[in-house]
Structure 1
Amino acid sequence: MDSVQVRPMREDDLPSVERASAVTFFEAEQSTRRVSDPEVEPRSTVASEQWIDRMRFNLSIDPGGCWVAVKEDAGAGEVVGFAISQNRGHLWFLATYGVLPSHQGQGIGKRLMDAALAHADGRPGIFSSSVHPGATRRYRLAGFSLHPQMRMVGTVDRSTLPAVAGLQEGRADDFEWMDRLDQNLRVAGHGPDHGYMLDTLRLVVSRDRARPGYVYIDDGGRASLLAAAHPETAQKLLWEALALSRPRTLVNCITVPNEWAIDVGLAARLDIGQEGYIAVRDMPVPAPYLASGHFL
Structure 2
Amino acid sequence: MWVLATYGVLPGHQARGIGKRLMDAALRHADGRPGIFSSSVHAGATRRYRLAGFSLHPEMQMVGTVDRSMLPAVHGLQEGRADDFEWMDRLDRDLRLAGHGPDHGYMLDTLRLVVSRDAAKPGYVYIDDRGRASLLAAAHPETAQELLWEALASSQGDTLVNCITTPNEWAIDVGLAARLDIGQEGYIAVRGMPVPAPYLASGHFL
* TM-score of the pair, normalised by structure 2: 0.96
SS of the residue aligned with 2:33? Answer: coil
Post-superposition shift, 1:172?
A: 0.9
1:15-164 mapped onto 2 (5 Å cutoff):
91-164=1-74
The CA distance in 2 between the partners of 1:96 and 1:219, in whole Å, is 26
Determine the structure 1 residue equivalent to 2:146.
Answer: 236
Whether 1:246 aligns to 2:156 is: yes
The CA distance in 2 between the partners of 1:205 and 1:97, in whole Å, is 33
Determine the structure 1 residue equivalent to 2:93.
Answer: 183
Whether 1:271 aligns to 2:181 is: yes
Whether 1:195 aligns to 2:105 is: yes
Counterpart of 1:217, as a letter, is I
Whether 1:261 aligns to 2:144 is: no
Residue of 115, 120, 125 corresponding to 1:210 = 120
Post-superposition shift, 1:103?
A: 3.3
SS of the residue aligned with 2:197? Answer: coil
Post-superposition shift, 1:195?
A: 1.1
**Cα deviation 1:82-118 (Å, max 9, x = unaligned):** xxxxxxxxx1112232233343333332233222222
Moved more, 261-270 or 111-120: 111-120
Moved more, 103-112 or 215-224: 103-112
Counterpart of 2:65, as a letter, is T
The CA distance in 2 between the partners of 1:150 and 1:120, in whole Å, is 27
Paired residues of 1:146 and 1:278 also in contact (CA < 8 A): yes
Determine the structure 2 residue equivalent to 1:10.
Answer: none
Please provide the CA RMSD for this pair: 1.2
Q: What percentage of residue pairs aligned between the two structures are identical?
A: 88
The structure whose Rg is larger is: 1
Determine the structure 1 residue equivalent to 2:130.
Answer: 220
SS of the residue aligned with 1:97? Answer: coil
The CA distance in 1 between the partners of 2:159 and 2:10, in whole Å, is 30
Paired residues of 1:202 and 1:218 also in contact (CA < 8 A): yes
Moved more, 157-166 or 91-100: 91-100
Higher RCO (Cα < 8 Å, 6 or more apart): 2
Post-superposition shift, 1:270?
A: 0.2
Paired residues of 1:95 and 1:293 also in contact (CA < 8 A): no
Unaligned 5+ segments in structure 1 are: 1-90
The CA distance in 1 between the partners of 2:143 and 2:203, in whole Å, is 21
The CA distance in 2 between the partners of 1:194 and 1:284, in whole Å, is 22
Unaligned 5+ segments in structure 2 are: none
Whether 1:280 aligns to 2:186 is: no
Post-superposition shift, 1:163?
A: 1.2
Post-superposition shift, 1:199?
A: 1.5
